[in-house]
Amino acid sequence: MGIGEYLALGSILFGIGATGFLTRRNVLIQLMSIEIMLNAVNVVFVAFNRFMPSNHMGQVFAFFVIAVAAAEAAVGLAIVIAFFRLKKTVVTDAGDSLRN
């Protein structure tokens, strides 16, 4: 497989994640869509690293993206749990009333 197939896979995954984030109103689905987008970026980083094996910067960046995704999931789920306890829903439209 060439690098084009990996880039196509990464762009398709990123498009699915972006579409899911923009069209869904459920916070949990939006968090999963963000995870899909981060994994798409990881696919691209590792693909570029595979075709330029002289340095391992693609794998290093993918490792940091995985660490950021784990922290984002932990903080995001804590916010969702607190939001659900307060509003009894996980729909993002109900978050507008938190400003008052």
Q: How is the chain split into domains, by residue range?
A: 3-90
Is the pLDDT score of 26 beyond 80? yes
pLDDT, tens digit, 9 for 90 and up, residues 40-85: 999 999 999 998 888 899 999 999 999 999 999 999 999 889 888 9
Report which of 88, 87, 81 is spatially closest to residue 99, judged by C-alpha positions.
87
- The pLDDT of residue 86 is 86
- The pLDDT of residue 91 is 87
- The pLDDT of residue 74 is 94
| CATH code for the structural domain at 3-90 | 1.10.287.3510
100 band by pLDDT with thresholds 50, 70 and 90: low
pTM: 0.86
